[in-house]
Structure 1
């Protein structure tokens, strides 16, 4: 049995609102097995929408109008709704941006992360609990048994995010969509979370589609990156190349320059220049005319 060349392959993906407004414009990208690909850009660039299109969780007002999403060898557009949900559930997982809203406040943590393993993946309850305890230990949570019996409000934001990371990696899915998982956390906790994600990813060989607006995070976690603006791809490159050469897109260069330096005091925030944004908006208008 030959291994799939790509864990995820997106080609010509267009997503529009019911009114016809284009949200994603001809998106094409690939993620190899074990690869971490960053999706980077400012708010509204379409980063999270790509992840949601893959997972089948686009808002009701939006719809995939054309294109193909091939996840672990299957073209999702050729599957029925039920078969698509089943395939995605077995082959992809999400690390969400807001750990508090992602967890049900009236259910204990253990029930929320063990039940999907039992129902979707047909594990025994003992198997699922043992796996979750092991992963909670790996993500540096003290007293995992107590945490499984806790409610989300009894835990810190960093602990809740670690729990969701453990839940995403529990079944060793071929692909994880990490949707800005450090945005709601302070800088110190961010560093710890990124280290945990990187270690688990290396241990499991899971591919990760890492959504972020922070080029500093991109440099730490990814091998490749896709830069987006206004729902279209501006640059697709190896991460190392983007940070070591001058030939990258002006918008990518501006994003790198605008990344805050947390290691030195007195640094100034450098916004993306108005002329770069103006040029991109002009190109968008030309495409739509």
Structure 2
């Protein structure tokens, strides 16, 4: 692996297109970047392509789905130019994933301890003693009581909130350059969601890790991110600092998402879904962009 470019962005995605086997695009000319220590939220409705971006970066796209064109750079390293083996090694050493569903993300037939220590020893080359010390430290840091007992336990013995804390500890343990947090609070109740968000933010600030935070919740965006990328049907419709997006959103779709977000007074306010005519307009724009992309690809 070559040395990272000095002062390189942690992540740089340039005109990324991800396609199905039939050529239909799931991501459409997506460009975004993360500075060191930055938290960027990817927001949009279901199917907008948020998780697909994270999977493309981590190299875990589903079978049959591939990167059609574009560049992904991790600390200046051109991932697309690497062999599959080198790409897996580079991504594994420099990044981590906090998955969406804590109930299924952990191996149910293995104790929790080895699921955290094994990547530290096998991928990062740590000694077992160092990996054990770091694991105990992080489990304590995410407010897991009696970390030694938990390490000797199986996932089914833990609640959903505890499992998500364990996954957060595992992600931050090797101090990666980048963490992809793929809707990590979706399967949790509201009280636990707040705790998990606070933990991620605290650990991110302590370690200086960059975080690509996937969510459909504009309320979460406001709490955790410094910048926001708003997506619709796999294309970027707005990209700006979080404060700008909430105080002066530039795109009608962004304004509609904010308006549709429930507030503390939701019991007295009518629900305001994204207008159908706006969705229709955006969909026509996507179809026109796809037609142009296909036309150019045939030349």
What is the TM-score with the length of structure 2 in the denominator? 0.94
Please provide the CA RMSD for this pair.
1.2
- The offset of 1:125, in angstroms, is 1.0
- Is the CA contact (8 Å cut-off) linking 2:96 and 2:180 kept in structure 1? yes
Q: What is the distance in 2 between the residues matched to 1:138 and 1:263?
A: 35
The range that moved more, 258-267 or 113-122, is 258-267
Match of 1:282 in 2: 284
Q: List gaps (5 residues or longer) in structure 2.
A: 292-299
2:255 to 253, 256, 274: 253
- The offset of 1:268, in angstroms, is 3.3
Give the match's secondary structure for 2:61.
coil
- The offset of 1:263, in angstroms, is 6.3
User: 1:53 aligned to 2:61?
Assistant: no
Q: What is the distance in 2 between the residues matched to 1:136 and 1:228?
A: 34
Match of 1:7 in 2: 10
- CA displacement, residues 56-85 of structure 1 (integer Å, 9 cap, x when unaligned): 000012000111000012000111111100
Match of 1:111 in 2: 114
Q: Which portions of structure 1, spanning 4 or more consecutive aligned residues, are displaced by more than 2 angstroms?
A: 1-5, 262-269
Question: How many residue pairs align between the two structures?
Answer: 288
Match of 1:268 in 2: 270
Q: What is the distance in 1 between the residues matched to 2:140 and 2:56?
A: 32
- Is the CA contact (8 Å cut-off) linking 2:171 and 2:179 kept in structure 1? yes
1:86 to 77, 85, 89: 89
Give the match's secondary structure for 2:53.
helix
- Is the CA contact (8 Å cut-off) linking 2:117 and 2:135 kept in structure 1? yes
- The offset of 1:2, in angstroms, is 6.7
- The offset of 1:288, in angstroms, is 2.5
Match of 2:65 in 1: 62
- The offset of 1:267, in angstroms, is 3.9
Q: What is the distance in 1 between the residues matched to 2:277 and 2:216?
A: 20
